Amino acid sequence: MSSQQKLFGVLAAALTPLSPDGSIALNELLPFLDFLYQRGCHGVLLLGTTGEGPSFSPAERLEILQVAVEIRQDHPDFLILVGTGTPSLEKTIELTRSAFNLEVDGVVVLPPYYFQNVSDAGLFEWFSRVIKRAIPSDGAFLGYHIPNMTRIPFSLELIQSLKDTFPGQFIGIKDSSSDPIFAQELGKRFGKELLVFSGNDRLFSLALDSCAVGCITAMANLFSRDSRQVWDANQRGQKLPEVQIRLDKARLLFDRYLPNPPLFKALLFRYGHFSRWAVRSPLVRMSDESLEKVISDLKGEFGEFTL
């Protein structure tokens, strides 16, 4: 099965379990991935923005990945993507090679975000070197379009150039631009020839209508059942506007408490699923007072809220 055929559906931009001292809670990683599977996720993106990927050393990232792939012993079809992008070309190549050596389903790669206002020509050269040196001939490479974080967008022209030059490897993009016009333009220009995963829950239905194949979102750590309903309905040629509205409301609420990793970790603890996972600096633990405010907001929006 080709990369294009097997990547689809609802993927959680997974949190990374951390012990109170900030070390990786590897013993909680597989139970967490199983939790996401049981709630309808087709798979995960590890070590993305929500997973605090840039806060981990290359050795730590590989340690996480080596444990994570064991989820396939119980769930062979569980998709595993991993974020391997860094500002360093050589580090990105090293991480990407190592990820494929562990037989992940694909990598999601940020642009080199240190220098701003770089040209498409420069970005094309950088990504070309990563693909040529680190991506197997049948490997799946997805660009990570999140310009509000990186300040470096994937233009439609850059996507086209990479797709034309590396049609078997550059297969898609995670669109976290939160831009409905861009989501529609991706569909109009590429159709099903480019695998687009929406990174914004509020745009999920619109993205699916614009030929997206799924979503990779932070909120899928908590609301994957709703996202899965929207995706399943789309596969049947149906729509579930009432479920999409629920996702819209939740996203608007959570956007008041950015950045989300401390919040989502606190909610998983508060509702009794996992221990109180730490976050890495510069993120800080959510205060108990703020957490209770979020829970009050959730109850006000959704009634007696449960996960």
pLDDT band at 5 (very low <50, low <70, confident <90, very high): low
Annotated active-site residue in 114, 132, 271, 299: 114
For residue 2, pLDDT over 60 is answered with no
Q: Establish if 274 belongs to a structural domain.
A: no
Tally of structural domains, the chain: 1
Structure confidence at residue 91 (pLDDT): 96
- Does residue 294 lie in a domain region? no
| Nearest of 83, 66, 70 to residue 12 by alpha carbon | 83
Q: What is the pLDDT of residue 306?
A: 78
Which one of the listed residues 37, 174, 217, 265 is annotated catalytic? Answer: 174
The answer to whether 258 touches 284, Cβ cutoff 8 Å, is no
Which residues have a Cβ under 8 Å from the Cβ of 4 and sit 6 or more positions away?
Answer: 171, 195
24 part of a folded domain: yes
Please state the rounded mean pLDDT for residues 142-164. 96
- Residue 305 binned pLDDT confidence (cut-offs 50, 70, 90): confident
Question: Which residue among the candidates 16, 37, 49, 84 is catalytic per the annotation?
Answer: 49
User: What's the pLDDT tens digit per position in 232-280?
Assistant: 999 999 999 999 999 999 999 999 999 999 999 999 999 888 999 999 9
- Written as one string, the DSSP assignment of 56-102 is S-HHHHHHHHHHHGGGGGT-TT-EEEEE---S-HHHHHHHHHHHHHT
State residue 304's pLDDT score. 79
Determine whether 271 is an active site residue.
no
114 is catalytic: yes
Long-range contacts of 288-293 (CB under 8 A, 24+ apart): 290/257, 291/263, 291/266, 291/267
Domain-located, residue 8: yes
The mean pLDDT of 280-289, rounded to a whole number, is 96
Query: Average pLDDT in the 155-182 region?
Result: 97
The pLDDT tens digits for 75-122 are 999 999 999 999 999 999 999 999 999 999 999 999 999 998 999 999
Partner residues linked to 196 by β-bridges: 173
The CATH number of whichever domain residue 234 belongs to comes to 3.20.20.70
Per the domain annotation, does 107 fall within a domain? yes
Does residue 303 fall inside a structural domain?
no
* Tokens, residue 296: 């009050």
> Does 134 fall in a domain?
yes
Q: Which of 107, 26, 105 is nearest to 67 (CA)?
A: 26
| 45 within 8 A of 11, measured Cβ to Cβ | yes
Expressed as residue numbers, the domain containing 186 is 3-238
For the cut 90, the answer to whether the pLDDT of residue 44 exceeds it is yes
Q: Is 144 a catalytic residue?
A: yes
Per-residue model confidence as pLDDT tens digits over 174-225: 999 999 999 999 999 999 999 999 999 999 999 999 999 999 999 999 999 9
CB-based contacts of 93, cutoff 8 Å, min separation 6: 129, 130, 133, 134
In this structure, is residue 34 part of a structural domain? yes
